[in-house]
Amino acid sequence: MNHNAEIENTLVLGAGELGMAVLRSLAPRLQHTGTGLSVLVTLQSLVSPTAMQVLRQRELDAMGVQLLPFDLVGRNNADLIALLGQFHTVINCTGFVAGKGTQTRLTKAAIAARVRRYFPWQFGVDYDVIGKGSGQPVFDEQYDVRGLLRSQTGTEWVIISTGMFTSFLFEPTTGLVDFEAGIVRGLGTWDTKVTVTTPEDIGRLTTEILLQQPRIRNQVVFVASDTVSYGQLADIVDDVTGRVFERELLRREKLAFQLVQQPDDVMLRYRAAFALGHGMWWDKATTYNAQKGIPTTDVRAWLAARHKAKP
């Protein structure tokens, strides 16, 4: 491998929903450039893979992506730093699967390893606006990660703010759209907005941002598949399904009271945080994808495709 190819090696951390979306977009773009592309996976997924992991591994092999086993929980920081130090660019798609402190640890390791370019797991809301004390400890850690990156100059960073995954609006565990009960729940007010992006759109946009020349460095880049109010969400659900859903508003005061009663309820923390509104949305017209004319899948199209696909 020549020196130029070696320093351009890229590592994606995680082969979950988002990691795969990034790899599916990035791998074809890098295939003929001599740039190495690897993905961090658990040793367990190679030794005793699930049926889904087998399928993903076959797909990754077909794309020419090297599988790199590493135990984020069991291995020490020195091993992590040595691993990351082999790569020019690291794209972090791990989420918080390794528990509290995962993102702080990975960011510190990337900086210590002198990774040239780091895309942290910030595929979420605007933590600069939210600050600390939102009631969601995960958000506090993400705010601290930004402070770590901005406090140094050895590692370039790019933060991609995406809002929540579009699918999160419709997950049964969130309770925002309850298809079985026929209820749409709003957070804060019906005019409170939320920005959402599909993993597929994130994968494509991350690839574009990564490869843009002149390259983007030390910036927060905003993207969005869509930005909707909870009232608009309810209208979309009614229109697409052809049903009239009951509407239930979860006001901030009610959520705050519930959180006092159930402080360890993770989903309740998310509801309370998103009910605040600020930092949870941005105008789609101002985003990277809108400015570049890159089409994305809005909430109506996303739901319509899945509603049509159901038997």
| β-pair partners for 11 | 38, 90
Residue 311 has pLDDT above 80, yes or no: no
- Write down the pTM of the prediction: 0.93
Tokens of 13: 């951390």
Q: Residue 214: is the preceding peptide bond cis (ω within 30°)?
A: yes
pLDDT, tens digit, for every residue of 81-138? Answer: 999 999 999 999 998 776 789 999 999 999 999 999 999 999 999 999 999 877 788 8
Residue 1 has pLDDT above 50, yes or no: no
What's phi and psi for 135, nearest 5 deg?
A: 95, -5
CATH number 3.40.190.150 is the correct assignment for the domain at 166-194+226-279+297-309: no
Topology (CATH level 3) of domain 3-163+197-222: Rossmann fold (3.40.50)
Q: Amino acid letter at 124?
A: G
What's phi and psi for 41, nearest 5 deg?
A: -130, 165
Determine the Cα–Cα distance for residues 180 and 194; give it in Å rounded to an integer: 23
pLDDT, tens digit, for every residue of 243-299? Answer: 999 999 999 999 999 988 998 888 898 899 999 999 999 999 999 999 999 999 999
pLDDT, tens digit, for every residue of 158-207? Answer: 999 999 999 999 999 999 999 999 999 999 999 999 999 999 999 999 99
Integer angstrom CA distances of residue 197 from 121, 166, 220 = 15, 5, 16
- E strand map for the chain: 10-13, 37-41, 66-69, 89-92, 117-119, 156-161, 164-165, 177-178, 183-187, 193-197, 219-222, 226-229, 246-250
Same fold, 3-163+197-222 and 166-194+226-279+297-309: no
Determine the Cα–Cα distance for residues 236 and 301; give it in Å rounded to an integer: 10
Nearest to 196 by CA among 214, 222, 175: 222
Indicate the domain borders of the chain: 3-163+197-222, 166-194+226-279+297-309
